[in-house]
Amino acid sequence: MKVVIIGAGFAGMKLARSLNNKAGFDVLLIDKFNFHQFQPLFYQVATSSLDASNISFPLRKAFHDSKNVRIRLTKVLGIVQDEHKITTELGDIEYDILVIASGADTNFFGNKKLIEYAFPMKSTVEAIQLRHRLIENFENVVGCATEEEKQKLMTIVIVGGGPTGVELGGAIAEMKRYTLPHDYPEIDFSTMKIYLLEGTGATLGPMSKKSQEQSQKYLEKLGVTVRLNTILKDYDGSVATLSTGETIETSTVIWAAGIMGNVPDGIDPSLIVRGNRIKVDRFSKVIGQDNIYALGDVAYMETPRYPKGHPQVANVAISQAKNLANNLRRIEMRSNAATLEEFEYQDKGSMATVGRNLAVVDIPKPRLHFGGFFAWLIWMFLHLILILGVKNKLIVFINWIYSYMTYDQSLRLIFKVFYRPRTPQEETRYIKT
């Protein structure tokens, strides 16, 4: 059975590893990058707490001893369902089973100015770009001529009060409190402003009311100005216009307000629902298809417990991949179709960290809530478990201990990329590929 997996995120990696060295399967894992990205810690890369390599794991290393899993780095151009193949920049690839695990990207809701000027954070590269912007802002403040321009550089607006926005706001506030005054003694950081805009009436909307209230309290304690029921209407790279009519002069807007599924061309538009997600049945099979499946953030599955679809979180993607791997093994062994298992997500809880010793954790069964230091320890432990690679786990843990003891991050570096002209031979090779 030739299984082609599009995407090496949580779902794609889990499925490939579950089928690794299993008899009867030939697996091809396709991604644009040659590494798996641990998305929950992007904000720590953006705020100089972790290096990008700490939360990235080489795909080929994960399958060093594999006899049946191969990797291809390319961009998928489309799906040709009738011919059971996909088209890519490397050419056509045929499949017996196709699994779309392409994840999600930033949703700017069609606002072209935000696409141009706001900073998203849905990849390691984007997190590094944001880190560079934050550090460059303070370097520019040192040599700034006017107070107005200084204030604009020292004002940061974060849009979206979900886990990403809350965690990023807390991390930047801690940089302001503990780290930046030592780096830039000539700057008065009491004038630095951090805004968190949330369109609903609470931060961490899907979590419990206690978690919502505590997260807002923690953010405000750290010096973040939280604006609820407030939407960013426009941003021109210099002035942010809010739904309240207020304007904020800022050079940095960070967009963490929405995501949309990465749906390849070739999927029936009638199957694409809100959030740009593909409708699938309880077996993760795309509606109306016999051999195309979708997992994780790009999949929309209705179940009795989740009639409006599952939350777009890592645990859902991993659980769906496990379920599909088991079902594919049953199909490969030609078991009775009745033995296939429908998917139902068992929610183990949700969590978010706001800062040093500050986090919130909700556990559904038994219904429990934790806040503060103990919740922060739970958050760290569970994230360490999910990171791929023993070395990565160890390095991340050491970085966390170092930061906790020293109140410092050691990765405030700006890397400039300089391109040399291609030789004629390189130019010819580039055009051919």
How high is the pLDDT of residue 433?
41
Q: Are residues 241 and 131 in the same domain?
A: yes
Residue 245 lies in a domain: yes
DSSP structure class, residue 54: G
Please name every residue paired with 409 in a beta bridge, in sequence order, or none if there are none: none
Q: Are residues 148 and 98 in the same domain?
A: no
Q: Which residue has the higher pLDDT, 333 or 307?
A: 307
Is 328:14 a contact under the CB 8 Å cutoff? no
How high is the pLDDT of residue 432?
47
The count of other CB atoms within 10 Å of the CB of residue 311 is: 13
Q: Are residues 139 and 202 in the same domain?
A: yes
Alpha-carbon span 360 to 212, nearest angstrom: 9
How high is the pLDDT of residue 427?
58
Residue 368 lies in a domain: no
Q: Are residues 164 and 264 in the same domain?
A: no
Place of tokens 């040599």: 143
| Mean pLDDT (whole number) for 123-132 | 92
Q: Are residues 96 and 139 in the same domain?
A: no
Q: Where are the alpha helices (DSSP H) in 178-282?
A: 180-183, 209-222
Residue 65 lies in a domain: no
- Which range, of 54-58, 111-115, 338-342, averages the lowest pLDDT? 338-342
- Provide the CATH number for the domain around residue 83: 3.50.50.60
Query: Which residues contact residue 230 at a Cβ distance below 8 angstroms, ignoring those fewer than 6 apart?
Result: 197, 198, 199, 242, 243, 244
Of 257, 274, 289, the position where a domain reaches its end is: 257
Residue 224 lies in a domain: yes
Residue 213 annotated among the catalytic residues of the structure: no
Residue 201 lies in a domain: yes
Q: Are residues 238 and 140 in the same domain?
A: yes
Q: Are residues 121 and 228 in the same domain?
A: yes
Residue 428 pLDDT exceeds 80: no
- Provide the CATH number for the domain around residue 200: 3.50.50.100
Residue 221 pLDDT exceeds 70: yes
Of 257, 279, 299, the position where a domain reaches its end is: 257
Q: What is the share, in percent, of the chain residues with pLDDT greater than 90?
A: 83
Q: Are residues 233 and 269 in the same domain?
A: no
Of 286, 313, 339, the position where a domain reaches its end is: 339
Q: Are residues 133 and 238 in the same domain?
A: yes
Q: Are residues 92 and 23 in the same domain?
A: yes
Confidence of residue 418 (pLDDT cuts 50, 70, 90): low
Q: Are residues 91 and 194 in the same domain?
A: no
Residue 213 lies in a domain: yes
Residue 341 pLDDT exceeds 70: yes
Residue 263's domain comprises 2-32+74-106+259-339
Is 352:163 a contact under the CB 8 Å cutoff? yes
Q: Which residue has the higher pLDDT, 180 or 417?
A: 180
Q: Are residues 195 and 219 in the same domain?
A: yes
pLDDT tens-digit map of 55-70 = 999 999 999 999 999 9
Residue 420 lies in a domain: no
Query: Which residues contact residue 102 at a Cβ distance below 8 angstroms, ignoring those fewer than 6 apart?
Result: 6, 7, 9, 76, 261, 262, 263, 264, 298
How high is the pLDDT of residue 414?
81
Residue 140 lies in a domain: yes
* Mean pLDDT estimate for the chain: 92
β strands within 62-142, DSSP E = 69-73, 76-80, 85-88, 91-94, 97-100, 104-106
Please name every residue paired with 91 in a beta bridge, in sequence order, or none if there are none: 88
Q: Rounded to two decimals, what is the model's pTM?
A: 0.90
Alpha-carbon span 297 to 356, nearest angstrom: 29
How high is the pLDDT of residue 417?
61
Candidate list 147, 148, 149, 167, residue with the active-site label: 167
Number of separate domains in the chain:
2
Alpha-carbon span 249 to 188, nearest angstrom: 18
